[in-house]
Amino acid sequence: MVTVYIGARVIDFIQEGAYSAKGATIISNQSEEIAATILQRMDRGVTVLEGRGSYSGEKRDVLYCVVARNEIVRLKNIIESIDPHAFVAVSTVHDVAGEGFTLDENKNPISGIV
């Protein structure tokens, strides 16, 4: 069992590389509060996109946020505390660059977290 787990992790490492983060797509009626809270409590940026429901035609903000793997539980807890009915889709992000995603020790680094 341990050998299978280690083998799977090695394969993941070879395919995905040493680094990966999590990207969260969030749809909620409380998008402004969620975005502000993520910025305030996690020091992570949030991109706001304009969306429209296919069935309802209703316009809604769609939030996108990238965090380190070890931060995803905290992110989901923040979202759930504000809007327990929010739609949240989490995906693996294999390559990230830009502000907040460097080895700059004065920032909130995400690189190097495996």
CA distance 26 to 33: 12
Among residues 86, 82, 49, which one has the least CA distance to residue 64? 49
User: Structurally, how many domains does the chain consist of?
Assistant: 1
Q: Using one digit for the tens of pLDDT, what is the confidence trace for 28-60?
A: 999 999 999 999 999 999 999 999 999 999 999
Walk along the chain (114 residues) and give the pLDDT tens digit of each residue.
788 888 887 887 776 666 678 999 999 999 999 999 999 999 999 999 999 999 999 999 999 999 988 899 999 999 999 999 999 999 998 777 777 665 444 555 554 444
**pTM strictly above 0.95:** no
Residue 73 lies in a domain: yes
Domain that holds residue 114: 19-114
Estimate the share of the chain in helix, then strand, then coil, as percent rounded to the nearest 5: 35, 25, 40
Q: The domain that contains 77 carries what CATH number? A: 3.30.70.120
